[in-house]
Amino acid sequence: MLRVVVAGVCASGKSELVKRLARRGVDAHSVAQEHSHVPELWRHERQPDLLVYLQASLRAVRRRGRRDFDAATLAEQRRRLSSARAHAQLRVPTDHLTPDDVELIVLREMRAILRAMNNGRVGELESIARRLRRDIVEMTTTANSGHPSSSMSAIDVIVALYCGGILRHDAKRPDWPERDRFILSKGHASPALYAILAERGYFPHAELATFRKLGSRMEGHPNMRRVPGVEASTGSLGQGLSIGLGHTLAGRVDGLGYRTYVMTGDGEIEEGQVWEALMAAPHLRVDNLTLIVDHNKAQQSNLLERVMDYRPLADKLRAFHWHVEEIDGHDMGAVLGALEKVREVKGRPQAIVAHTVKGKGVSFVEADWTYHGRPISKEDLPRALAELKG
Ligand SMILES: Cc1ncc(C[n+]2csc(CCOP(=O)(O)OP(=O)(O)O)c2C)c(N)n1
Ligand SMILES: [Mg+2]
């Protein structure tokens, strides 16, 4: 069942909406202003599938019977609710809407979420992701080299893109001019990229076993000149978003409507060049560019918070005028929902901050950030594969 949480100022219609949704069998709750700090809130209760924020002006609040309200009270309520408002997937300006209208808007949004979740895709995609995690672990252990943990945090989003009906692509025509582009800016996660490209038929699966071997095109970092489906040669961190922006501008000049998706690491975005592209894309009114940050809270030599604690990331991206979605990057339904939602955004680029776990899927790798750039040993491989079964 979908879980919906409703936040909003007094007299914005929270309880009426919750009552109506509950009558339809929805798991709906309103949230008190003093407890509305998101995402801390989700530490105490399950994260909702939909967070709705109801807006109302002072005039509307007073018209609805709260005559005691003045501008200062309303401003204080809004301040308390600012985090809920920022994280809401749906903001409804209620001033000129009836409760029926508000309910309809919310139901429409719920339908879109359900569509994304229920197309039978979620379970199927999860099982593909599990299988590709096994590929990643086997490739890197066989090579005794590479970055399994960086690949495992990223793989769910990558599977959603390539197998969830998001990316328009055709393995038989890797140079098709109208294809959507996916650029793995964090090129050290090449095992994830190779695994998905093999899965989608860009080259034989058997080639994965040659990863990092001399002469193999499965190089440690992806080489666009050698591997079909690789859109950019990456590995030198910080460049992918600029390259992706270039692709979108080229598409504009060529009159092609493709979209470009760029995935970066969360340590990677400390590179200054990333922020140049972050500034430029909204200025150029690019809206067919989506940045996905694999926010796994760890980088090469330590945890992110110890190296460069720039959080909260989403607020910074919003300040740069990006549309931002913040999700659990291992929740396939949420990943699909966000990828579908950003396609509808007009006039500005979009960022998906995907909260992930480095090494996701193998407990002893998840628990130890020193696995960065370190394969699982041959002795530990059976234990890892056992965890990734099913
Ligand atoms: C310009 C540049 N500097 C340093 C490196 C070495 N390096 C490879 S991976 C990595 C850490 C990246 O961390 P993050 O972006 O968080 O990626 P994660 O592996 O956590 O997904 C570094 C510093 C590099 N590849 N390129
Ligand atoms: Mg990281």
What is 90-142 written as a DSSP string?
EEEE-TT--HHHHHHHHHHHHHHHHHHHHTTHHHHHHHHHHHHHHHHHHHHHH
What is the distance in A from the centroid of ligand 2 to the CA of 131? 22
Compute the distance from residue 236 Cα to the ligand 1 centre, in Å.
Answer: 8
pLDDT for 306 equals: 96
Entry field: residues in the chain: 390
Domains by residue range for the chain, with CATH:
3-119 (3.40.50.300), 122-387 (3.40.50.970)
Please write the tens of the pLDDT for every residue from 227-265: 999 999 999 999 999 999 999 999 999 999 999 999 999
State residue 118's pLDDT score.
Answer: 61
Residue with tokens 């339809």: 24
Which pLDDT score, from 0 to 100, does residue 114 have? 78
Which ligand neighbours the alpha carbon of 157 most closely?
A: 1
Mutate to test the pocket of ligand 1, among 136, 155, 300 (most ligand atoms within 8 A of CB): 300
Q: pLDDT per residue over 368-383, tens digit each?
A: 999 999 999 999 999 9
Ligand 1 atom showing the smallest separation from residue 238 Cα: 1
pLDDT score recorded for residue 314: 97
| Mean pLDDT, range 284-307, rounded to an integer | 97
**Who wins on pLDDT, 42 or 103?**
103
**Confidence grade of residue 57 (pLDDT, cut at 50, 70, 90):** very high
Cα of 156 from ligand 2 centre, angstroms = 15
> In this predicted model, what pLDDT tens digit does every residue of 87-121 receive, in sequence order?
999 999 999 999 999 999 999 999 888 776 666 78
Q: Atom 13 (ligand 1): residue with closest C-alpha? A: 299
Q: Which atom of ligand 1 is nearest to the CA of 300?
A: 11
Q: Measured between alpha carbons, how far is residue 159 from residues 129, 195, 299, 317 in Å? A: 6, 10, 22, 24
Measure Cα distances from 80 to 6, 11, 44, 76, 355 in Å. 14, 16, 18, 6, 24
Residues with CB under 6 Å of ligand 1 are 150, 153, 186, 188, 235-238, 265-268, 294, 296, 298-300, 358, 372
pLDDT at 105: 96
For 124-150, how does the pLDDT look when each residue is reduced to its tens digit (9 = 90+)? 999 999 999 999 999 999 999 999 999
How far apart (Å, rounded) are the C-alpha atoms in residues 121 and 364?
29
Ligand 1 pocket check: which of 156, 158, 186, 371 to mutate, most ligand atoms within 8 Å of Cβ?
Answer: 186
pLDDT tens digit sequence for 299-325: 999 999 999 999 999 999 999 999 999
Give residue 293 CA to ligand 1 midpoint distance, Å.
13
The structure's pTM equals: 0.74
Closest ligand 1 atom, residue 266 Cα: 16
% the chain with pLDDT above 90: 83
Q: Label residue 215 by pLDDT band (50, 70, 90).
A: very high
Is it the case that residue 390 has pLDDT exceeding 90?
no
Q: What is the mean pLDDT of the chain?
A: 94
Contact 258, 178 (CB under 8 A): yes
Which atom of ligand 1 has the smallest separation from the CA of 294? 21
Q: What is the distance, to the nearest Å, from the Cα of residue 238 to the centroid of all Cα atoms in its chain?
A: 18
- Taking the centre of ligand 2 as the mean of its atom positions, its distance from the CA of residue 91, in whole angstroms, is 31
